Structure 1
Amino acid sequence: MTAGIPESQPPIDTSRPHPARVYDWFLGGKENYPADQEFGRTLPKETRGNAARNRAFMHRASAWLARDGVDQFLDIGTGIPTEPNLHQIVQAVTPTARVVYADNDPIVLRHAETLLVSTPEGATHYLHADVRQPEAILERARNLLDFDRPIALSLIALMHFLPDDQDPYGITRTLVDALPPGSYLVLSHGTADQHPELRKETEAAYRKGAIALRMRTHAEVAQFFAGLDLVEPGLVPATEWYREEPAPVVVRSGFHVGVGRVR
């Protein structure tokens, strides 16, 4: 079951790069345009590998949560539905899992109906919505998910696109505070901690592409998990987070990642 696709769809601006489409290009996807590809080539070569390693973290964390009994997921900042996507990972473990995706990119909306297809036993829904309006997302998600039972909130490679003046910590707190005990926050965030020599080049490229970027340090990313119990191994580079063998190969990462449990 897949639902939530409005009949009218907003136009897609292909003349400017968009983070979701650039990310799709890094992952080898086909839902991107020359402007996205041109922008992607201006970024340090390590960026492509960082995108793949961030995606692998999402797969590991989502599968672990599904095996741990979580069967409801709210994924905000979905991005292009590059397979395997979150619902495919968790429904392979728990076919009855319910997954709600939310994104404000028209190209994601365009492909949601055909690519975000649930198992017959479970459900996937798509909300065309902006993370900067968390209350609206929660209001609509309550019609699709049971907020009396644990929910995994997924904010993957999203919050570094919100500068400080857009209150990323307050947005995250609004979302997390709505979750019942036993829920989880799964978050990855861009950083230059392990690539300090690439920081200026990366920030300059994003400024030139007119894309907001606010990379944050380990201490700054840790603030997103305030009041939560971090699941081992804690807040770590993307290639260092795993719960089950086989362990990923540890290399430098452009993402801090973590999973926090709601008390």
Structure 2
Amino acid sequence: MPARARPSVRPPGRHRGSSTATAASCSQGRPSRYTRPLRDKGPGRAAATPEGHTAYIEAEMADMDSVLGQAAQTLDLDQPVALTLLGILGHVEDPAEAAEIVRRYMARLPSGSHLVTCDSTQSPGMLAAQAAYADSGAARYHEATSEQIEAQAERLTILPPGVSPVSLWRPDEPYPAPVHQTGLVAIKP
């Protein structure tokens, strides 16, 4: 059975002790058809799913040794995996540092591994939403430009449809409603 792990990681230096987790994941095998809550399993515990196992890892995003070490308890990291960083890198203030974090993770994963990433983009609606989010006392979230998101895939091959709004990845209708999330899917050669 293929294995699947979802390490939940905190952005560096933020959200310590918070019950709100920002998620990144490493997965292997077929994607699960559903998400199963793991609240009853606790950190570091695995749960069975129809396709394999899901593990919860609590660690700082920048602590790659901890994240990948714990992921290796569920995944075979000698085989290609998917690293998904969805809506998490905006917690890193410097876009160059965010791209470096991605580069360091991908350097430790084998050829054939995939990167899936997306973040909020700089649009009037999203800027207003982020201002309200920051006013609530939450950690600042930094919107990304398409160029900053593309820089996260340095040394990788970006797959179609390229750097684009996530609603265009696999649209169900010819002109889906626009979203304020831009991302990419890339593969490590």
TM-score, normalized by the shorter chain, greater than 0.5: yes
1-structure distance, mates of 2:182, 2:162: 10
Contact 1:230/1:260 (CA < 8 Å) preserved in 2?
yes
1-structure distance, mates of 2:148, 2:79: 30
Contact 1:189/1:215 (CA < 8 Å) preserved in 2?
yes
Match of 1:197 in 2: 124
- Please say if 1:259 is aligned against 2:189: no
1:61-86 CA-to-partner distances (Å, cap 9, x unmatched) read xxxxxxxxxxxxxx6279xxxxxxx9
Identify if the C-alpha distance between structure 1 residues 187 and 121 changes in structure 2 by more than 3 Å, giving closer, same or farther: closer
Match of 1:90 in 2: 31
Higher helix share: 1
Q: Provide the aligned C-alpha RMSD in A.
A: 3.7
Match of 1:219 in 2: 147
Unpaired runs of 5+ in structure 1? 5-10, 21-74, 79-85, 94-107
SS in 2 for 1:225: coil
2-structure distance, mates of 1:239, 1:120: 27
Identify if the C-alpha distance between structure 1 residues 162 and 134 changes in structure 2 by more than 3 Å, giving closer, same or farther: same
Q: How big is the shift at 1:120? A: 5.8
Identify if the C-alpha distance between structure 1 residues 250 and 141 changes in structure 2 by more than 3 Å, giving closer, same or farther: same
Alignment of 1:2-41 (within 5 A): 18=20
Match of 2:76 in 1: 146
Match of 2:10 in 1: none
User: What code does the residue aligned with 2:187 have?
Assistant: R
1-structure distance, mates of 2:117, 2:135: 27
Identify if the C-alpha distance between structure 1 residues 232 and 120 changes in structure 2 by more than 3 Å, giving closer, same or farther: closer
1:94-119 CA-to-partner distances (Å, cap 9, x unmatched) read xxxxxxxxxxxxxx87x1628x8423
Judge which range, 230-239 or 127-136, deviates more.
127-136
Contact 1:234/1:258 (CA < 8 Å) preserved in 2?
yes
2-structure distance, mates of 1:2, 1:181: 18
Q: Which runs of 4 or more aligned residues in structure 1 lie more than 3 Å from their structure 2 counterparts after TM superposition?
A: 1-4, 11-14, 245-249
2-structure distance, mates of 1:154, 1:171: 13
Higher strand share: 2
Q: How big is the shift at 1:157? A: 1.2
SS in 1 for 2:41: helix
Instruction: Report sequence identity in percent.
Output: 23
SS in 1 for 2:147: helix
1-structure distance, mates of 2:147, 2:165: 13
1:227-263 CA-to-partner distances (Å, cap 9, x unmatched) read 1111111111011012xx7457522211002110011
- Number of residue pairs matched by the alignment: 172
Match of 1:76 in 2: 24
Match of 1:209 in 2: 136
Unpaired runs of 5+ in structure 2? 7-15
1-structure distance, mates of 2:127, 2:51: 48
